[in-house]
Structures are given as structure tokens and as C-alpha cells.
Amino acid sequence: MSSPESTPSPAPSSAPASALPFGRLTTAMITPFRPDGSLDLDAAQKVATYLVDGGNDALVLNGTTGEAPTTSDEEKVRLIQAVREAVGDRARIVAGVGTNDTAHTIECAKQAEAAGAHGLLVVTPYYNKPPQDGLRAHFTAVADATGLPNMLYDIPGRAGVEIKSETLIALAEHPRIVAVKDAKGDIAGTTKVLANTDLFYYCGADELNLASLAIGAVGIASVVAHVASREYRQLIDAVVAGDLATAQQIDRRLVPAVEAIMTRTQGAIMVKAALQLAGVIEHATLRSPLVEAPAELVDRLTTDLKTAGLIA
């Protein structure tokens, strides 16, 4: 943990993306399935290549948008290996390994490291709602288990419990806990952690991307970037350059896309529909209990993506 500098740093850090643990632009990538529900690794490689070509520094695999609750440990490993093969050294692979069982999470972390992941995304244990002492023990044990950098995923809306600012400040002492994917929406709390640690923040809520960058997040871990990578790359670059007017213009233009993908039903449902509309994937298959977007939502999505300038 470091003390605040007497002279404030630019927000976000002006360091090059290559100097940051997971770059600046990261997409929480879908897991494509064939119509029969089986894992489609060819499609996954196509999506990964498309995203890296669009400016992504890193890809988060096996997260919520990747439908991790319904893929097996073996499938998760195969996905990491396939995407690593597709993008090579052009992007870092961050593997979602978090569960609500510390022992299982450690096992997944070791498997991800062996499969070639460059880092780990570790979500707050969900459903069993551990106290903050339990969170500290869980995240520390996972960080101790491999040599990879860890990004903690703070998302109380799904996990049922937040990682409190004091807990994050304490966990920042661990040499391999280096970043936070922040989907809590607590700007004041985030500012407190940024002021008292060296943790790198990545916004995990697309509606707050610009606000998070403005207070010091170094990047974003986006869902909407599946179809807006180039736009978000430009937004991030504008903020780093101090061109707030350009960043605001891009952010406001993307509002219809963010609303369409993130507010009307589950995000993986809508972003698969968006990728299908964009011609990136052939099938928008999801695994139960998720279901494909109904025609009326796809129609609204089409209109909103056109309004945002993301599809012709």
C-alpha cells in the first residue's frame, strides 16, 4: 500500500497500456455455443481475434458474460487454450476463476495458470454471503495459490455482498492482488481506495465508464465493447490525453447501445444478439436458464445499435 502523493497523478494514469497489468481496454468475452449447446471454439477464436483487432489489450474469459455458471471446468480450460492460440501475444488473457468455494476457486486458478492465462479474475463469493474477514481469507488464499496477478471483481448486485473499501485497502498489500473490476458504482468508495492503494481500477459497469476513468480508473472491462471496441478505445485515449469533450461525445453517442445491451434483460443475451447482428457470430445460442432474446428485443436492439453508429 502506498500513501497518496502530494502532487495528484493524471486520471487515469498516463502510463502506456503495456505497463498496466491488463492494459486499458478489456472485454468480458462471451462463450459461443453451437445450436446444440456445445462449446464452439472456432467461433470463440473468431470473436477473440475480432476484439483484439478492434483494440482490446486483454480479454476476460469465463466470467458472467461468458456464462461461467453453466460451463464445466474442463470447458473453461479449453476456452483459455483456444483463445490464447488465436491471439498469441497480442492480448492478455484474464481467466475468470471465482466461485463461492475457496478450495474450488484455487483449483480453477491453478488450471487457468497451467492453460496459459496471464491473470485471474476472482469474483466475490456469491450466495453464501461471507463476512469481510471471510472475503479477506478467500482472496488471499487464491492470490497465494498461483504466480499470476489477480483482479478482484466487486459486484454486490450479483454476489450479494460488497468488498468494502477497508477490505480492498487491506488486500492491496498482497503483491499479486493488483487490480479491481468495479461494478459496485460507489464513486466515493472507489476514490478512497485509489487514494490509499496502488490498485489499478477497471470499470465493470459500462454506464459508468467515463465517470470511472475521470476519477482515476486506468481502463474498462466492458460488455458493450463486443460491438464498440473501437469507440471505447477512442474514449479511453481521449481521457488519457485530457480531451474530455471528445470523451463525452463518444460516451453520449453510445448511450442507446449501453441501454439496449445492459438494461433490458441479462447482458449475455443481448450482447450475443448484438454480435449476431454485427455478423461476428452465426448463432446466439445460450445455455439454460438463459434464453435467446425475443424478436421484439432484437428489433429494438437493432434500432439502438444503428442510432449509436455501431451497425449499418
For residue 182, tell me if it sits in a domain: yes
- Phi–psi pair at 264, nearest 5 degrees: -95, -25
Kindly report the CATH number assigned to the domain that includes residue 231.
Answer: 3.20.20.70
For residue 267, tell me if it sits in a domain: no
Domain ranges, residue 205: 25-251
Three cell numbers, residue 153? 471483481
Q: Catalytic pick from 50, 76, 126, 153? A: 153
Q: What is the pTM of this model?
A: 0.93
Tell me which amino acid residue 298 is: V
Q: What is the mean pLDDT of residues 294-311?
A: 97
Among 65, 55, 64, smallest CA distance to 23 is for 55
181 given a catalytic annotation: yes
pLDDT tens track for 196-206: 999 999 999 99
For residue 9, tell me if it sits in a domain: no
For residue 8, tell me if it sits in a domain: no
Q: How many helices (H) and strands (E) does the chain have?
A: 13, 8
How far apart are alpha carbons 189 and 204 in whole angstroms? 15
Query: Residue 221 annotated as binding?
Result: yes
For residue 299, tell me if it sits in a domain: no
Q: Are 265 and 227 in contact (CB under 8 A)?
A: no
For residue 274, tell me if it sits in a domain: no
Q: What is the pLDDT of residue 10?
A: 42
Structural domain count of the chain: 1
For residue 301, tell me if it sits in a domain: no
Residues facing 153 on adjacent strands: 123, 181
Q: What is the pLDDT of residue 18?
A: 73
Proportion of the chain in helix, strand, coil states, percent, rounded to 5: 50, 10, 40
Query: Residue 65 annotated as binding?
Result: yes
CA–chain centroid gap for 1, Å, is 24
Among 279, 270, 284, smallest CA distance to 224 is for 270
How far apart are alpha carbons 242 and 249 in whole angstroms? 14
Q: Catalytic pick from 76, 181, 184, 272? A: 181
> Does position 241 have pLDDT exceeding 60, yes or no?
yes
Grid-cell match 471496441, residue found? 229
For residue 303, tell me if it sits in a domain: no
